[in-house]
Chain A
Amino acid sequence: MSIDVLMPALSPTMEEGTLAKWHVKKGDTVKSGDVIAEIETDKATMEVEAVDEGTVEDILVAEGSEGVKVNTPIARLSGEGEAALAPKPAATPPQSSASPPTAPPAGEQLEAKPAATPAPSSSPAGVGGDSSVARRDGGGLRILVSPLARRIAEQKGVDLGGLTGSGPHGRIIKADVDAAQPGQARTPAAAPAGQPVPASAAAPRQILSLEQMGIASGSYDLVPLDGMRRTVARRLTDSFRDVPHFPLTIDLEIDTLLAARSKINALLEPTGVKVSVNDLVIKAAAIALRQVPEANASYTPEGIAMHHHADVAMAVAIDGGLITPIIRSAETKGLAQIATEAKDLAARARSRKLKPEEFQGGTFSVSNLGMFGIKAFASIINEPQGAILSVGAGEKRPVVRGDQLAVATVMTVTLTCDHRVVDGAVGARWLTAFRALIEDPITMIV
């Protein structure tokens, strides 16, 4: 009896991934627990283990294939007739804690944002996704699409949710996908007929080719979009376009903070832990979020989600993109622990070995470009978070004390706020709290 090995969902939000590497080939014998493949999602590379014994009858998806939909058969095992199961990822994502608060339960109609949020684990014996004419995508939106259109969309990187079908009963056919631009963002235009279309449902922007915009073909090299680049492009485009955002900027004097850091690091020396300015910023941000809980919130159509903990995501630049691993409940953690976790997360982020729950579902983000000498910048909101803090370089600047000019180490920070959740006054209160903590770091201990 043959067992189809299906493309696993490595995280609650995973729709597709790249089959990065096969560890087995046709004819190999595998037993339960053997690593058979590596799957690269938009954020991480994960190993897939076999859960059955058998012989690899066929490899159905070639190594390096991009955009392999979850539940597509990727290999076939000839098993012992035991219950056929899909392999589970080496690391099973937690069922709910990691899912973003805006994710509606599977099966419910999505409203403004039909960003697909598949149920954490789809039925293991699911149908081969590719051949189904109609199937449920995301959180219950039914997308009618021809098998060929689905495949071409995968190859081109076109998001089916953003297309309007011109076939019978609105079925998406090849011509629709041919006309679509790769990476075309999902737009709410795909909302079921009869539902009021939100204002942001404007027709997708016509993307002109470089040639159309006067850049001669041949005058550049084209680097193919990988999963991470696509995700970055899609998520940030959605966020910048759909989230009403505004920046609030203040200067902080950090001489006291730097002195405190030296003392702390001297104390920690025997343990080998070293606290960075960024660790202090994360700690201060977390405490400020506890003090001003309105800033630790997410907008959802049903209401404002007030988060219980400050799960602070820190932006880490990695080869080919960026990723935001999370220090969970940072307001409860000591500096040493934050420093240790941050170091470990950053290292594993760079080698793309993060587990999905380690980079999904933060409530607030910190992005630091100080080490590059950037003075000030305003980051784009990392949905569904209510705010993101951009940290500039600490540098000696003239400051006015009383009527005297003095020199101090100054760091400029900018809080970008989602105005639906964090109003200007709330943002200002948070920054005030944050300033107090940074400029008088001893208050962090309290």
Chain B
Amino acid sequence: MADIFDVIIIGSGPGGYVTAIRAAQLGMSVAIVERELLGGICLNWGCIPTKALLKSGEVYEQLGHLADYGLKVEGASFDFDGIVKRSRKVSAQLNAGVTFLMKKHKVEVIEGTARLEKGQDSAKGAAPKVVVALKAGGSRTLTAKSVILATGARARTIPAVGLEPDGERVWTYREALVPRRAPKTLIVIGSGAIGIEFASFYKALRSDVTVIEALPRILPVEDEEVSKAAQKAFEKRGLKFRVPANVKKLSKTKSGVAVEIEAGGKAETLEAEVAIVAVGIVGNVEDMGLEALGVKIERTHIVTDAHGATGVPGLYAIGDVAGPPWLAHKASHEGVHCIEHIAGETPANLNAPIPGCTYSTPQIASVGLTEAQAKDQGIEARVGRFPFRVNGKAIASGETEGFVKTVFDARTGALIGAHMIGAEVTEMIQGYAIAMTLEATEIDLQSTVFPHPTLSEAMHEAVLDAYGKVLHI
């Protein structure tokens, strides 16, 4: 098979494989190199399998509230293996789906580990060569006009204080996805989306879960009010928190782990069967020969321009490896932009706001600036809020936890941020994302008709509230 392509993509996560499809649509010959499984972390070890687990946990937890709905089931229990198996099956199905998509678009999938070498005519601006150590043995050298790095990221570890997975008692997301049993006691270190989702899942399965966060509040990237409400809601479910608390040392004991922390000047040691380390991620930038090519790397992430160009002729980087926010949809968006740019099209600018979601119970979703960020940027903010507690659909569904908060630029009426906590909010946030991408003002949002009865009416009310027109309070 020919080893010359228009574009070679390294990594087949949601950044890489989506870019491959778009490249094929643009008439390019495409190769994609994957060292593990098509679909990357997202499909196999991240977004998707966690959602499968969380759904099981959510349904099981609902069983505890059946009486609220006038229902009765006796002797409800769960099959832990069954839960994990379903999650793996879901991943396998989607992995097969990506395999199909690659075939459909005639993208050549090359299984192996890629390394970059200087292109033959690098002086003339040729892209680096891609040398793949094939999984099946041997190697292939590929050349292309453009090479796109979409190698993603992995869990950050801090060996110095014992924050290093051992697969048994100290887990990262990877081990946490395929446990043999639910630990009776669990410590989650880090309260970002990943940490909170695992905490939420294991709590649903009756683990005793304590979350440790070094920053002053959980879900530190979310709006302060949301963080506060989330912690309250989680505590109601029985989750415990140590916030803010610094992990001094994690050590293994006979039966599990001991985590020495310091909170408010006081030392404390927490013990549990298992600890999950979720203290951020680092970019996969090693062992690819990037340094030799002169690729600029800052804090494990590749530095790129607005179109993903690295500065090395013909070499681009997108997704997690190119920096935060570390989100699958951001990777896909950047990938499509990058390949359209390479193809000489004029893709829409990359400034579209990127929503973020946490699939805990309750769910959390946001887009744009928090109220505090707006303030920091010197924007006079106009804020609206609406609680689900007075939303008809929420009451009918028995899911009245949470609220919607909107942040407008008082001067221009631009929606600059939206923050939601409650049932199904991850499915609704895109309404605000569309509004922001289209540069809607409060007038457009106020004059949009929201269907009744839906939870989304709270989105409308939160807009109205910002302008003193809220109806149902």
**B and A form one assembly:** yes
B413 touches A151 (CB 8 A): yes
A175 touches B438 (CB 8 A): no
8 Å CB interface, A107-150 against B: 128, 130-131, 133, 146-149
Smallest Cβ distance from B412 to chain A, in angstroms? 6
Smallest Cβ distance from B302 to chain A, in angstroms? 25
Tell me, in angstroms, the Cα distance from A173 to B444 when the chains sit together. 15
- Against A, the Cβ 8 Å flags (1 = close, 0 = not) of B433-460 are 0000011110110010000000000000
B351 touches A148 (CB 8 A): no
Residue from the list B348, B411, B414, B441 in contact with A168, Cβ < 8 A: B348
B349 at the interface (CB under 8 A from A): yes
A167 at the interface (CB under 8 A from B): yes
A130 touches B349 (CB 8 A): no
A155 touches B348 (CB 8 A): no
Residue from the list A130, A166, A175 in contact with B441, Cβ < 8 A: A130
Smallest Cβ distance from A68 to chain B, in angstroms? 14
A148 touches B412 (CB 8 A): yes
Tell me, in angstroms, the Cα distance from A434 to B96 when the chains sit together. 91
- The residues of B that contact A149 with a CB separation of less than 8 Å are 439
8 Å CB interface, A153-168 against B: 155, 166-168
Known A-B contacts A151-B412, A151-B413, A168-B348; the reply to A174 vs B443 at CB < 8 A is no
- Against A, the Cβ 8 Å flags (1 = close, 0 = not) of B214-243 are 000000000000000000000000000000
For A58, give the chain B residue with the smallest CB separation: B469
A131 touches B443 (CB 8 A): yes
User: What is the interface size of chain A, counting residues whose CB is below 8 A from a CB of the partner?
Assistant: 17
B348 touches A148 (CB 8 A): no
B443 touches A146 (CB 8 A): no
Smallest Cβ distance from A112 to chain B, in angstroms? 27
A175 touches B412 (CB 8 A): no
A148 touches B411 (CB 8 A): no
A155 touches B412 (CB 8 A): yes
- The residues of B that contact A152 with a CB separation of less than 8 Å are 412
- The residues of B that contact A133 with a CB separation of less than 8 Å are 438
For B413, give the chain A residue with the smallest CB separation: A151
Smallest Cβ distance from B393 to chain A, in angstroms? 27
Tell me, in angstroms, the Cα distance from A155 to B411 when the chains sit together. 9
A175 touches B349 (CB 8 A): yes
A146 touches B447 (CB 8 A): no
Smallest Cβ distance from A282 to chain B, in angstroms? 48
Tell me, in angstroms, the Cα distance from A166 to B439 when the chains sit together. 13
- The residues of A that contact B413 with a CB separation of less than 8 Å are 148, 151
Residue from the list A128, A130, A147, A155 in contact with B439, Cβ < 8 A: A147
- The residues of B that contact A147 with a CB separation of less than 8 Å are 438-441, 443-444
- The residues of A that contact B440 with a CB separation of less than 8 Å are 146-148
Q: Which of A147, A151, A155, A166 has the most CB of B within 10 A?
A: A147
- The residues of A that contact B411 with a CB separation of less than 8 Å are 155
- The residues of B that contact A148 with a CB separation of less than 8 Å are 412-414, 439-441
Tell me, in angstroms, the Cα distance from A147 to B439 when the chains sit together. 6
- Against A, the Cβ 8 Å flags (1 = close, 0 = not) of B340-365 are 00000000110100000000000000
- The residues of A that contact B414 with a CB separation of less than 8 Å are 148, 174
A174 touches B447 (CB 8 A): no
- The residues of A that contact B444 with a CB separation of less than 8 Å are 131, 147
Tell me, in angstroms, the Cα distance from A133 to B448 when the chains sit together. 14
A175 touches B351 (CB 8 A): yes
- Against A, the Cβ 8 Å flags (1 = close, 0 = not) of B391-415 are 0000000000000000000011110
Tell me, in angstroms, the Cα distance from A128 to B414 when the chains sit together. 17
A130 touches B443 (CB 8 A): yes
For A172, give the chain B residue with the smallest CB separation: B439
Tell me, in angstroms, the Cα distance from A174 to B447 when the chains sit together. 21
- The residues of B that contact A151 with a CB separation of less than 8 Å are 412-413, 441
B443 touches A166 (CB 8 A): no
Tell me, in angstroms, the Cα distance from A168 to B437 when the chains sit together. 11
Tell me, in angstroms, the Cα distance from A128 to B446 when the chains sit together. 13
Smallest Cβ distance from B256 to chain A, in angstroms? 53
For B436, give the chain A residue with the smallest CB separation: A148
Smallest Cβ distance from A14 to chain B, in angstroms? 22
Smallest Cβ distance from B179 to chain A, in angstroms? 46
- The residues of B that contact A166 with a CB separation of less than 8 Å are 349
B351 touches A146 (CB 8 A): no
- The residues of A that contact B351 with a CB separation of less than 8 Å are 175
Query: Could you name 22 residue pairs across A and B whose Cβ atoms are closer than 8 Å?
Result: A128-B447, A130-B441, A130-B443, A131-B443, A131-B444, A131-B447, A147-B438, A147-B440, A147-B443, A147-B444, A148-B412, A148-B413, A148-B439, A148-B441, A149-B439, A151-B412, A151-B413, A155-B411, A167-B348, A167-B349, A173-B439, A175-B349
A→B interface (CB under 8 Å): 128, 130-131, 133, 146-149, 151-152, 155, 166-168, 173-175
B→A interface (CB under 8 Å): 348-349, 351, 411-414, 438-441, 443-444, 447
Per CB-CB distance, the 8 closest pairs between chain A and chain B, nearest first, are A146-B439, A148-B439, A148-B414, A147-B441, A131-B443, A131-B444, A147-B444, A168-B348
